[in-house]
Chains A and B, each alone.
Chain A
Amino acid sequence: MNLGIFTAILLFCIFSYFFGQTTAKKLVTNQNLKLKTLPTYYGYFVALWCGIPSLILFAVWSLFEPTIIKTIVVGKVLSASQIEAGLTTNLIYQKILSYSAGNFTGDLTDTIKIGALAYAKITSLAYKAKLASILSLASIGFIYAFNKVSKNNNARNDVENILKWLLFSSSVIAILTTLGIIFSLLFESIKFFSSINIFDFLFGTNWSPQKAFVRDASAITAEEYLEIKDAFGSVPLFAGTAFIALIAMCVAVPIGLFSGIYLAEYASYKSRRTIKPIIEILAGIPTVVYGFFAALTVGPFFREFGESLGLNVSSESALAAGLVMGIMIIPYVSSLSDDVINAVPQSLREGSYAVGATKSETIKKVVFPAALPGIIGSILLAVSRAIGETMIVVMAAGLAANLTINPLESTTTVTTQIVMLLVGDQEFDSPKTQSAFALGLTLFLVTLVLNYIALRVVKKYREKYD
């Protein structure tokens, strides 16, 4: 359906391009005018004035269409008081949708049948209205542009101005993403913090959201609150995240750093060219593959190995998850260090050799200190990556919040909990789902700060040597 509308707009634009171009050419032959610019620009001018408004309308309409349709259909089907309750509208609407799509299983109630009829009617009406509005808008744009072309406007300037505006809007969209993230996270988090005290969240040490089964988040009774207020302490989660990230860095930093140094200083040009991409393969492997590998091979291996030594090792040990995460992070440290070390000017090395230092002394005492800010920046970026990592820990680390410093035990992380809280049939407004957003917000802020510091450090370092 939408594809049809899109094709219609496209055809309209192509037609208007040729029309505009021909009109411009006719101005020359009929009125013996000198065109201000090439005919093709007149064509583009008309096409843009048809296409851009229509596409914008198309996008905006399509974005809001599902919500409006849902509101109308639900309004026809449920009474006002039922809608107030809010809890069952989503469920009913989902059923209406699957019935309309033809794959409905379960009890067919009258509500659903009425709803499906209403849905079909509204959808076809919406389609017609959409098509009509878009075509009208395109026509208006066409007439406006045609008018201008007949008066021999400076089409190239106009087209370039339109394009400039288009370019600017594209950059703005990039910021909109940030705004979107902050907005969606904040919105749900604020709802969450109206139920749960923010200090209990940030500093509480007990995380067991299964306890928090609350019917209606907006009206929690005092006793219910007492029950759940201790269920959302996030300290074990952040501790788990930090712990596994620490294990990962203990693996990645030595291996990555020494690999980077070897590649930059000792390896021949040919070997560097082959080895570096191979190590970078580690970064290109999807994290779900690492998770699978950790759950299938590494976890059990550690457990069996531990058992043979008489230790009690969980099959979802922090050690297994951390080790595999560390392997994933190696290329981040090695490639960035390699680049940073290469950026140190050769003149410094030669100054050191000239005084009689060996290669390793030069690296340890001159090159490495000079590259240090850049290396620290790359390590911080790697830490940020480790903290935000999801799949490896979901598949290989535990699900129970456990405050421990024993790497042989299992512990859970912030990202694992976000996934666990949101998978499955959740009612959207319970403190459980909202807590996931609160966790997400904290995660976002922490990685933001880390990334900002890391980028500043690397930037400052680069300025020193440019």
Chain B
Amino acid sequence: MTKDQRIKKRHRAEARFKLYGLLSIILALTFVGFLVFTIFSKGSDAFSKTTIKVNVSFNAEILSLPSNPSLEDIQDADYYDLALESINKLLLTSNPDDEKLLKKLFSPDFDLEIKNYLVKNPDLINQTQDINLTSSDDIDQLFKGNFPRDIPEDRRQVNDRQLEIFDELVAQDKIQKKFNNYFFTNGDSRDPELAGIGASLLGSFFSVVICLILSFPIAILASIYLEEFAPKNKITDFIEININNLAAVPSIVYGLLGLGILLGFMNFPRSTPLVAGITLALMTLPRIIIPCRASLKAVPPSIREGALAVGASKFQSVFHHVVPLSLPGTLSGTIIGLAQALGETAPLILIGMVAFVVDIPGSPIDPASSLPAQVYLWSESAERGFVEKTSATIMILLTFLIVMNFIAVYLRQKFEKKWN
């Protein structure tokens, strides 16, 4: 091979190599984009729900209300018959089969919705009002266009007659999409149209707060000790190796720890944010210690020596001078650790947080779920309506995480001093 040929070959190899690198980056970026796109496109539907406009006449007789009813009377009345009567007004026929099918077009809470409306507006007694009632999950999916209409009737959730009724209602402009408040206020439910993330949102909140309260002070104090006060001997070396290992232990092992000791040995209440918070705190502790120590280490000795030189004690030089300077790195490390804790599922599954939680938890010792556990639960569900809810929950979870990570990076970039 001549010199020239060889050089050309080498330059070609150079171009190829650079191309592989570029392709890899593009591939990685495509994965990110594709993932985000899939989730957001599937999830945006969950924020709206389909409603059917029904004309309700709040007839006091059907409700068996006394004249001049108190609020309590209104709340205690039974609205089922009134509800049935109102929705049957949608169709002009009074075929009993039709009535059954009609009821299936609405969510199971349709009578409850009518009641809540009256409770909020008690002066509507003996008046009529158009109310938008939540539709059933099948109608919701149908209206959103996720439902294939062309498959044979026996394989569909919605039969032909129901489709007819549906089409007619659409033509009458009685079917609309409204903001899905249930998604945020309700707990879990077997019916997708009523299911919401209220319980899991609060559960995650409690868990993360408890995790923060427990892990942050201990982590900071431990880091300060290890970095500033501990003598350099085998014991501290051992502690350091320990902590590095703990940071890399799979999260499911922490779940086993929580299950074995907190639930089994100490009999703490199952499925509560308290236990979740403690388990997450144990997991997050090393993940805060490592960046905290790095920030402390980065502060140059000249700062410490300067403080000592004016007569400060070692404690004063550490707490008044070194720690404040290392705060940006520590805080950003903490926020990232908390973000990881927020997204954890495996340990929470083992301590029971995948129970079916309908009620919104009022305190950290009430049973709750968490956002990622909710994603896991719903994704196991066969119903189509849960797919969009799962995606929407992921969107909310990701939004929290992105915001937290953004704050952490911002803190670090804006406030951290570069010591070279």
Contacts and interface: CB of A to CB of B under 8 A. Distances in A.
The short answer to whether A and B are in direct contact, CB under 8 Å, is yes
Contact of B225 (A63, A167, A296, A436): A167
A50 B24 CA distance: 60
Interface in B216-273: 217-219, 221-222, 224-226, 229-230, 239, 241-246, 248-254, 256-257, 259-261, 264-269
Interface string B348-369: 0110001000010000000000
A418 B346 CA distance: 10
B38 A293 contact: yes
Interface string A224-268: 000000000000000000000000000000111111011101110
B25 interface: yes
Given A167-B229, A174-B239, A266-B18, A389 B250 contact: yes
Given A262-B21, A292-B379, A455-B244, A285 B252 contact: no
A150 B206 CA distance: 44
B229 A418 contact: no
Interface in B359-395: 359, 372, 375-376, 379, 387, 390-391, 394
Given A258-B21, A388-B251, A448-B249, A167 B224 contact: yes
Contact of A174 (B24, B29, B31, B242): B242
Contacts of B398: 285, 289
A188 B248 contact: no
Given A266-B18, A288-B372, A363-B17, A181 B249 contact: yes
Contact of A170 (B222, B250, B256, B265): B222
B420 to A, nearest CB: 14
A173 B284 CA distance: 13
B250 A66 contact: no
B63 interface: no
B419 interface: no
Contacts of A293: 35, 38-39
Contacts of A448: 245, 249
Contacts of B38: 293, 297
Contacts of B248: 381, 384-385, 447, 451
Given A160-B315, A281-B32, A288-B376, A171 B256 contact: no
Contacts of A173: 218, 222, 285
A451 B401 contact: no
Nearest to B248: A451
Interface in B5-60: 10-11, 13-14, 16-18, 20-25, 27-29, 31-32, 35, 38-39
Nearest to A182: B257
Interface in A162-214: 163-164, 166-168, 170-171, 173-175, 177-178, 180-181, 183-185, 187-188
A423 interface: yes
A360 B22 CA distance: 13
A289 B221 contact: no
A66 B266 contact: yes
B289 interface: yes
Contact of A255 (B14, B28, B344): B28
A387 B248 CA distance: 11
Contacts of B243: 174
A440 B29 contact: no
A158 to B, nearest CB: 12
A331 B387 CA distance: 28
A187 B339 CA distance: 32
A284 interface: yes
Contacts of B24: 254-259, 262
A455 B260 CA distance: 29
B125 interface: no
Contacts of B285: 173-174, 177
B226 to A, nearest CB: 6
B253 A391 contact: no
Given A263-B25, A292-B375, A360-B17, A415 B260 contact: no
B253 A262 contact: no
A361 B9 CA distance: 12
Contacts of A451: 244-245, 248-249
Interface stretch (A272-280, A302-310, A404-412): A272-280
B405 interface: yes
B339 A387 contact: no
Q: Which of B256, B266, B346 has the most CB of A within 10 A?
A: B256
B250 A184 contact: no
Contacts of A437: 256, 260
A351 interface: no
B327 interface: no
Interface in B327-355: 339-340, 342-346, 349-350, 354
B282 interface: yes
B376 A291 contact: yes
A15 interface: no
A420 to B, nearest CB: 10
Contacts of A359: 14, 17-18
B333 to A, nearest CB: 14
3 A-B pairs with least C-beta separation:
A388-B250, A262-B21, A286-B343
9 contacts: A168-B229, A180-B257, A278-B32, A281-B32, A287-B346, A288-B345, A297-B38, A451-B244, A451-B245
Given A160-B313, A361-B13, A395-B376, 10 more contacts: A67-B267, A167-B222, A167-B225, A174-B285, A177-B285, A284-B340, A287-B346, A296-B387, A418-B350, A451-B248
Interface of A: 63-64, 66-67, 70, 97, 103, 156, 160, 163-164, 166-168, 170-171, 173-175, 177-178, 180-181, 183-185, 187-188, 254-259, 261-263, 265-267, 275, 277-279, 281-282, 284-289, 291-293, 295-297, 327, 330-331, 334, 358-361, 363-364, 381, 384-385, 387-391, 394-395, 415, 418-419, 422-423, 428, 436-437, 440, 443-444, 447-448, 451-452, 455
